């Protein structure tokens, strides 16, 4: 799939200034998404290059980011990364790699382990914050439709940041929940 962005504005990732002058198109390596019908799915995204409107900025030009779709510099979409983390939490990195490969994806267990560590770091920093005003609790199944993979997730209601994930049987605490002693 080839996508071309039609953005009119973009915030400079270096100084935050909103810029409106798009210059060139920038085409980068494809981004891998969740596999479908036994095949890997890639997005070729043609992004715009903007002139930073802030004369004091360290950069003259920047390539627009794709918030909510893919992190900067990553070759896989955010939802692909989340799927890796959810599967690795349920079964470990190597079984997660095997399962994703069977479905057609191209991914290594090192990459999956990197996503799990990044997610764990994010959870720890979410937990360290003391600005949670409303706590939300949600029940999810790590494997769709499989009640034995059920987890309880505690979130910050206002920001939707995940704070803790606890396996429902409470005997198997997920690595991410280790920081919190139940
Ligand atoms: Zn800038």
Alpha-carbon gap, residue 71 to 80, rounded angstroms: 11
Q: How far is CA 13 from CA 23, 50, 75, in A?
A: 16, 11, 18
Residues 6+ apart with CB under 8 A from 34: 41, 77, 79, 80, 83, 105
Query: pLDDT-derived band of residue 175, with 50, 70 and 90 as boundaries?
Result: low
Identify the residue with better confidence: 170 or 143.
143
Q: Quote the ligand 1 centre to 10 CA distance (angstroms).
A: 10
Q: Quote the ligand 1 centre to 62 CA distance (angstroms).
A: 8
Q: Quote the ligand 1 centre to 20 CA distance (angstroms).
A: 12
Q: Quote the ligand 1 centre to 9 CA distance (angstroms).
A: 13
The whole model's pTM is what? 0.75
- Kindly state the DSSP code that residue 143 receives in the 8-state scheme: S
Residues forming a β-bridge with 136: 155
Note the pLDDT tens digit of each residue in 89-143: 888 999 999 999 999 999 999 999 999 999 999 888 888 888 888 989 988 887 7
Q: Quote the ligand 1 centre to 54 CA distance (angstroms).
A: 6
The residue assigned the tokens 């560590």 is 117
**Least confident piece of the model among 37-51, 124-138, 166-180:** 166-180
Q: Quote the ligand 1 centre to 159 CA distance (angstroms).
A: 26
113 burial class (0-12, 13-18, 19+ CB within 10 angstroms)? middle
């Amino acid at each position: 799939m080839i996508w071309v962005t039609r953005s009119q504005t973009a915030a400079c990732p270096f100084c935050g200034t909103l810029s409106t002058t798009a210059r060139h198109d920038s085409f980068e390596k494809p981004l891998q998404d969740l596999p479908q019908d036994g095949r890997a799915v890639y997005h070729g995204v043609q992004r715009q290059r903007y002139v930073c409107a802030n004369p004091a900025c360290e950069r003259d030009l920047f390539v627009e980011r794709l918030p909510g779709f893919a992190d900067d510099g990553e070759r896989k979409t955010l939802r692909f990364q989340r799927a890796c983390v959810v599967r690795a939490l349920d079964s470990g990195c190597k079984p997660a790699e095997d399962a994703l490969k069977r479905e057609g994806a191209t991914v290594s267990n090192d990459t999956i382990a990197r996503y799990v560590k990044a997610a764990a770091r994010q959870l720890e920093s979410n937990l360290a914050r003391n600005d949670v005003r409303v706590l939300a609790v949600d029940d999810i199944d790590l494997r769709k439709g499989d009640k034995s993979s059920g987890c309880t997730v505690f979130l910050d209601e206002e920001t939707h940041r995940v704070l803790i994930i606890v396996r429902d049987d409470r005997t198997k605490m997920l690595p991410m929940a280790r920081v919190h002693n139940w």
